[in-house]
Amino acid sequence: MRRPAEDWQLAYEGFDPAAEGVRETLCAVGNGYLVTRGAAPESTADGVHYPGTYLAGCYDRTATAVGGRQVENEDLVNCPNWLPLTFRPAGGTWFTGPPAAQRLVLDLRRGVLTRHALVEDGEGRRTRLVQRRIASQARPHLVALETELLPENWSGPLEVRSALDGTVTNSGVARYHGLTRHHLHPVEQGAGPDGLLLLEVATADPPRRIALAARTRAHRAGAPVPVVTAVHTEPGRAAQILTVGAEQGVPVTVEKTVAVCTDRDPAAGDPLHAATVLAASAGDFGQLADEHALRWAELWRRCRIEADFDGIGTLRLHLFHLLQTYSEHSVGLDVGIPARGLHGEAYRGHVFWDELFVLQLLDLRFPELARAVLDYRHRRLGAARSAAREAGLRGAMYPWQSGSEGREESQRLHLNPMSGRWLPDHSHLQRHVGSAVAYNVWQYYQATGDRGFLADTGAEMLLEIARFWSSAAEWNPARGRYSIRGVLGPDEYHDAYPWADRPGLDDNAYTNVLASWVLARGLDALDALPGRRRDELLERLDLDRAERDRWQEVGRRLHVPFHDGVLSQFEGYERLAELDWERYRRHYPDLRRLDRILEAEGDTVNRYKASKQADALMLFQLFSAREVRGLLRRLGYPAGEELLRRTVRHYLPRTVHGSTLSAVVHAWVLTRSDRRASWRFFRDALAADREDLQGGTTAEGIHLGAMAGTVDLLQRCYTGLEIREDALWLDPRLPSALGRLELDLHYRGHRGVTVAVDRRTVTVSLREGREEPIRVRLRGSCFTVHPGERRVLSL
């Protein structure tokens, strides 16, 4: 029987070198300002362990010679390691691991990583070790490590070495090892006032100073114990050795509290001075942990979701990592949401379209965080406009990968580890990321009713993205429709036609249908604005009636390809060959990286009807089947109720799910047609990181979009929850394995909306307050819920 406490814990027994990378990622602690991987404090980057601390928005740009050309990359920096702490009986050997026994427990409810271990040295001296670690949600610049050392069979002097290490490199992703890995340059290190240990390093491009101040103290039963200290330094590293008297059976506790500051922090002065003041004035570990737990309790109240199934603990783990990556402490930093969190170096910490999956969750939980992400995009609107101009187009062309500046950060070469070859990378042609930004703008507005946001920033982004699509569309007189050429869809495997000499595909169905939707929403956004602001925007953007008429024209006459009664991923898809699936599945048990397999064989996935993820199905994840049919009919295509079922049947056996997002999308689109299959994909998405289903990728960072997507499957998909026409729409479809679902929402200023669904009823209640009532639609019927009211309706 499952115990409720276990649903709030992630626990690992023993030490497994092969699994250590995954454990370090999933046991990371953070607060939205920074995240620290769950590496052991005594460890170094040795091929088993990989200590890493990442600050939101802390990038550095370097160049590397690859294949006779200079390759430039902007990387999320592995910042100085604040964790290093080890010990030894005086005269013995410093403990560097592994322990004789170990248990790790991540407390999701309180945000504390606890480690129990037994250490035995070469002379048979055994020491029990209990360590607790936090990244404070109350004081985002503070991180802390409490270590209790209990000598089991010895007494004598105990030496503890506490260090700050700025010599770390970006070495966490093996396929990047041929690229520049050194990003930190030493500035200052040594002893500070009141026994503090200080370190300052700098990045080069953009220049940024990062400062750490560490306070390490020892006590026994809460009383300070006499210590003798010595400080050792070298460029980029400072260490402090404390010597205390230890007695058999009597624990000694060492507290290490570290402040981390940069010169880019809001209201920043000198970062080393700021870190020194914060570290010196911080409370003890117990006080910091209590404040931290209080903030986590507040977060969990905002995120309440109750579901009766045996994966609820993993679902909470996903929410936990989302709240560690982006929190209230991220809001003032001008940062986006990295696709792999702040948990590792995969994708170089860049911001992709994965926020599309994250913001749909935040809109109904933390709308202030969703707006901060959209503000990040708006501040880079100028860069998106410049990119469009460089491509000979109008409007705003957002980059597939974004970093500090908002310019395109996608690499132009990538390494296939199976063949050892560096290959052209055309992923920057995924122009649909702009539509994701527009979709996020509109969804936020629908969920919040925030006309101020729409007037200040949202409408401007939406209009410029609509202008881009209008500009990118070319008239095809033979077809009598507009086409969008030379792009990639979400599938990513197909980046060119096998018969063409240029990259890119024409008329990707997902891209074109969403472009049509954006053009319509751009006009809706203008109608929603107050008259004066609408006139200002029209004048500022020089958006005249003729251009708006073109939006109507293009938005209703974009080409959408079909074949055999299903949506084609792109024009010409039906000309591709069928893969010999039986042979490949027989030779390769895991086909998730089919593109690499075929390239290593001298072939290309571009020749086949084989997909990483079936991007045509993404339309049915963003919109209900009814809305998709409406979008297609607006474009002049007849679309019956069987379209979704036929399209799923075509792509499902031809999809290898090489993206963690694929299981999320398939779980969503199968909800109405095959709930058992939907639930299987949901379970696959839940397991993706916890079980490292992609074989090694979790150690490089979490998959944040998929994590948020699993929560959103419960929040919106299985409840059938939509937000449109100033109402909450509900159409529940609970899988048989899910008997009941209850969650709290933040909708249009209401923090107290509760929705509960079971097999027979839907209950909607609104906490008593001064807010206006809300409108709810359930399978066609409409009703109003007033503050303090609870409505129960039969299904």
Q: Which residues are catalytic?
A: 492
Three-state secondary-structure class, residue 103: strand
CB 259 within 8 A of CB 265: no
Three-state secondary-structure class, residue 778: strand
Neighbours of 760 (CB within 10 A): 9
Positive or negative, the CA dihedral 668, 674, 675, 681 is: negative
Three-state secondary-structure class, residue 407: coil
Three-state secondary-structure class, residue 466: helix
Three-state secondary-structure class, residue 748: coil
Neighbours of 613 (CB within 10 A): 24
Please name which of 523, 512, 528 lies closest in space to residue 545, comparing C-alpha atoms. Answer: 523
Can you tell me the distance from the alpha carbon of 431 to that of 400, in angstroms, rounded to the nearest whole number? 7
Question: For residue 194, which phi and psi values (nearest 5 degrees)?
Answer: 55, 35
Token digits for 414?
């990538």
DSSP for 685-719, please give it: HHHHHHTTTTSSSGGG---HHHHHHHHHIIIIITT
What single-letter amino acid sits at 735?
Answer: P
Can you tell me the distance from the alpha carbon of 103 to that of 84, in angstroms, rounded to the nearest whole number? 19
Neighbours of 524 (CB within 10 A): 12
Question: For residue 342, which phi and psi values (nearest 5 degrees)?
Answer: -110, 40
Radius of gyration over every alpha carbon of the chain, rounded to an integer in angstroms = 27
CB 676 within 8 A of CB 736: yes
Token digits for 394?
């109008």
CA angle (344 as vertex; 132, 142 as ends), nearest 5: 40
CB 591 within 8 A of CB 585: yes
Token digits for 84?
């290093």
Whether residue 98 has a cis bond before it, omega within 30° of 0: yes
For the beta sheet containing 305-307, the strands, ordered from the edge strand earlier in sequence to the opposite edge, are 305-307, 740-747, 750-758, 761-766, 790-794
Say which residue the tokens 């491009």 belong to. Answer: 205
Token digits for 305?
């979701």
Q: At what angle do helices 312-325 and 675-690 cross, to 10 degrees?
A: 60
* Segment 268-277 long-range contacts (CB within 8 Å, at least 24 positions apart): 271/200, 271/209, 271/210, 271/211, 272/188, 272/198, 272/200, 272/209, 272/211, 272/213, 274/141, 274/211, 275/141, 275/198, 275/211, 275/212, 275/213, 276/192, 276/193, 276/196, 276/198, 276/213
Say which residue the tokens 């994701």 belong to. Answer: 436
